[in-house]
């Protein structure tokens, strides 16, 4: 499994389309551990580009603070699960909480 987290200054970016980079974390699903972290610079933000790009780099799941409904639909169409409403933290802590089943999510911080 590969989990993508949009980041600014190594913290979750609360608006998905405004991130500087994506942390792409490889997961060992057997022992629920992070085996590799890669920081990727996304292509310029345009509707539909990021879901296709993250699919091409192998992401299966995106954990975000906020994301518009259309973007969520495009991720689902590309076979990528989306979790929104995560709170700011480092990608490693967010993913570790997800793997432990303790990730708390609130409201989607994006309203479009």
Total-model pTM: 0.93
Please classify residue 62 by burial: count the beta carbons closer than 10 Å to its beta carbon, then call 0-12 exposed, 13-18 middle and 19+ buried: buried
Question: Domain-by-domain residue ranges, the chain?
Answer: 2-100
pLDDT digits (tens, 9 = 90+) for 50-83: 999 999 999 999 999 988 888 899 999 999 999 9
> Two tokens at 109?
């911080």
> Two tokens at 83?
């979790």
pLDDT digits (tens, 9 = 90+) for 6-48: 999 999 998 887 789 999 999 998 999 999 999 999 998 787 8
- Fold of the 2-100 domain: Nucleotidyltransferase; domain 5 (3.30.420)
């Amino acid at each position: 499994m590969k989990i993508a987290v949009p980041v600014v200054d190594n913290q979750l970016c609360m608006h998905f389309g405004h991130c500087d980079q994506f942390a792409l974390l490889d997961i060992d699903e057997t022992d629920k551990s992070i085996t590799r972290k890669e920081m990727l610079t996304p292509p310029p933000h345009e509707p539909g580009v990021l879901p296709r790009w993250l699919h091409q780099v192998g992401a299966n799941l995106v954990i975000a603070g906020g994301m518009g409904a259309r973007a969520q639909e495009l991720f689902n169409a590309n076979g990528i699960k989306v979790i929104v409403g995560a709170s700011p933290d480092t990608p490693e802590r967010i993913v570790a909480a997800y793997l432990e089943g303790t990730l708390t999510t609130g409201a989607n911080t994006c309203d479009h």
